[in-house]
A and B are shown apart, each in its own frame.
Chain A
Amino acid sequence: MTDKTIADPIAGRSWKLGHDIDTDQIIPSQYLVLGSLAQMATHCLETQRGDFAKECRPGDIVVAGRNFGCGSSREQAPIVLKTLGVGAIVALGYARIFARNAINNALPVIVLPEAEQIADGSRLRLDLAEGVLEDLDAGRTYRFEPLAGLPGRILEAGGLINYLRAEQTA
């Protein structure tokens, strides 16, 4: 798992999900005891999208509705998404703990009021620094507020641990 910088565009297909996707759906509780994140990741979203763990490619983008990541504090949820190569999440909104966990793991979480307009399987191109999401199949461009402040700096540093390390050596 290598962390790209915020300046690198993310390109992949959209995986469309609904509202209130909870962390039990992202990684069901019975798999949390598995020894490796790679093993856990094979069960990611299996009750929602049976093909997700097998078919997800690096750069693919999860597109969801309201309250994405609600439920448990388990950080395994954003980590398994990242392990499968998910480049970013685009949603109407996020549960608090999930959003923070995602940023801590350098997984961009973008709030986009037009998320529901994006079709499943669309080719997307995301520029985080510019705040632009292009839907190449639909020929549409969406603009969003790039993540700013401390959360933005954590994301840019490649996650909380890198951020704290950099802070210590600064």
Chain B
Amino acid sequence: MGMTLTEKIIARHAGLDHVKPGQIVSAKVDLCMANDATMRLNVDIFENKVKATRVFDPDRVILIMDHQVPADSPQTAEVHDLSRRFAERYGLTYFYETEGICHQVMVEKHVEPGMLVVGADSHTNSYGVIGAVSCGMGSTDVVAVMVRGETWLQVPHSVKVELTGSLGAGVYSKDVILNLVKRTTVSGLTYKAVEFTGPGLDGIAVPQRFTLCNMTTETGAKSSMIAPDAATYDYIRAVRGSAPEPDPTLFSDPDAVYEQTYRIDLGSLTPQVARPHSVDNVVDVGETAGVAIDQAFLGACTNARIEDLREAAKVMDGRKVAKGVRFMVTPASRSVYLQGMREGLLDTFMSAGAIVNHPGCSACWGACQGVLAAGQTMISSGNRNFKGRAGSADSNIYLSSPATVAASAIAGKITDPREFLR
């Protein structure tokens, strides 16, 4: 029987010819990533509980500071310092303090098709965009990988999402994934491997595919996958200057078994919005029209790449942020920030009255910049609208595409971006 690409990659890393869903295997890990949000605990487990003295490979354990950069309190600065000293002590080759959001940095610089990657962050499954199997883990599991270079995994059942047609103006991959989360619910794909496929993918650029993979976390999925194609290798070459040789074995077999298939006709979609306080509480943007906002946030590992900035800037161009609204733009990485500067996009945002922040997780997780007060409402391009996630437990978060965020920032209330794109 054939295997999905996810199963093939897990089998390869477990040293097996074949694996099947439900099977528990021990697998070698190519890369292990951790960030500042959990480093205090990671270091404690590594040094005090496991009493480890080395990492399995200093080139493959990567630390990225992104959740609270620059430090916003003495405690945060202490976590960064602890992480920096950890990197020095064990001779880690890669320690990033000011490069941007961990998942963006990993995809820009490190992940390759066919890899198995784990990370101390729930959105680590984003690397499926590059054709890697990746998943998030807690600190004990991550430390075990840092030390041993391997982990145990239960092979997930695969679920296929088949995309056909092409997206209309003002509709983006964010709208596709919000629509999917609505259909699956926030727990409907718990422990599954989600594979995006179909001719519709051809019209979606790699950075936009990232958004699809990133938010499979919000369905409960373990991992996500897009089989690498020419666009994948072109993307890697564009951001790194070179790309690995395409591996012709990285595809799902035609007779691979999927537990379920979801079909989405991209042409039928409209801009979508997730209402508070659950990511599956998704409606057409029209149903939220008129909801007044205090803050608009264009950022997060979900949607803060150069294409997102371009789409938002198109909406913003020559217009002003509504009085009383804070519009925060936080590019996903240094390279996105620089590109945004070169293209004049940051100029467009600042001239419109926005704030452009240094790359990082920012308002998405509410522990540093742009925290909400009680009674306030934010529309965000991030991936979660949990109660209290971005500040007060009495605040509200709506999720949408960057274009919808920009349109809403201009109008001061949730607005269909197509109104500004005509």
Contact = CB atoms under 8 A, between A and B. Distances in A.
Interface of A: 20, 22, 24-25, 28-30, 32-35, 47, 66-67, 70-76, 78-79, 93-97, 100-101, 104-105, 149-150, 159-161, 164
A79 B38 CA distance: 13
Q: Is the interface of B mostly helix, strand, loop or mixed?
A: loop
A73 B138 contact: yes
A47 B37 contact: no
Contacts, number: 116
A75 B139 contact: yes
Contacts of B371: 30
B220 A95 contact: yes
B313 to A, nearest CB: 30
A154 B387 CA distance: 33
A73 B190 contact: no
B388 A74 contact: no
B190 A96 contact: yes
Which 10 residue pairs of A and B lie closest in terms of their CB atoms, listed nearest first?
A75-B138, A101-B138, A67-B187, A33-B75, A47-B393, A104-B140, A75-B139, A73-B136, A29-B367, A73-B122
Contact of A25 (B186, B278, B386): B386
Nearest to B75: A33
Interface centre among B79, B140, B366 (most CB of A within 10 A): B140
Interface in B113-155: 119-122, 124, 136-141, 144, 152
B388 A75 contact: no
B157 to A, nearest CB: 12
Contacts of A74: 37-38, 138
Interface centre among B124, B187, B365, B393 (most CB of A within 10 A): B187
Contacts of A161: 45, 49-50, 140
B38 A24 contact: no
A147 B79 CA distance: 36
B138 A104 contact: yes
Given A29-B367, A47-B388, 19 more contacts: A22-B384, A24-B386, A25-B388, A29-B389, A33-B367, A35-B75, A47-B387, A67-B190, A70-B186, A71-B384, A72-B365, A73-B38, A73-B122, A75-B41, A76-B41, A96-B191, A101-B139, A101-B140, A164-B144
B73 interface: yes
Contact of B141 (A20, A72, A104, A150): A104
A71 B218 CA distance: 8
B16 interface: no
A3 B51 CA distance: 19
Contact of B137 (A28, A67, A97): A97
Interface string B37-59: 11011000100011000000000
A159 B37 contact: no
A34 B37 CA distance: 11
A95 B367 contact: no
A33 B367 CA distance: 9
Contacts of A29: 37, 365-367, 389
B347 to A, nearest CB: 32
B28 interface: no
B76 interface: yes
A82 B75 CA distance: 24
B223 to A, nearest CB: 10
Contacts of B140: 75, 101, 104-105, 159-161
A73 B137 contact: yes
Contacts of B144: 160, 164
A96 B366 contact: no
A67 B280 CA distance: 13
A97 B6 CA distance: 18
B238 to A, nearest CB: 30
B184 to A, nearest CB: 12
Interface centre among A72, A93, A159, A164 (most CB of B within 10 A): A72
Contact of A32 (B37, B124, B190): B37
A30 B141 contact: no
B413 interface: no
B302 interface: no
B169 interface: no
Interface string B374-386: 0000000000101
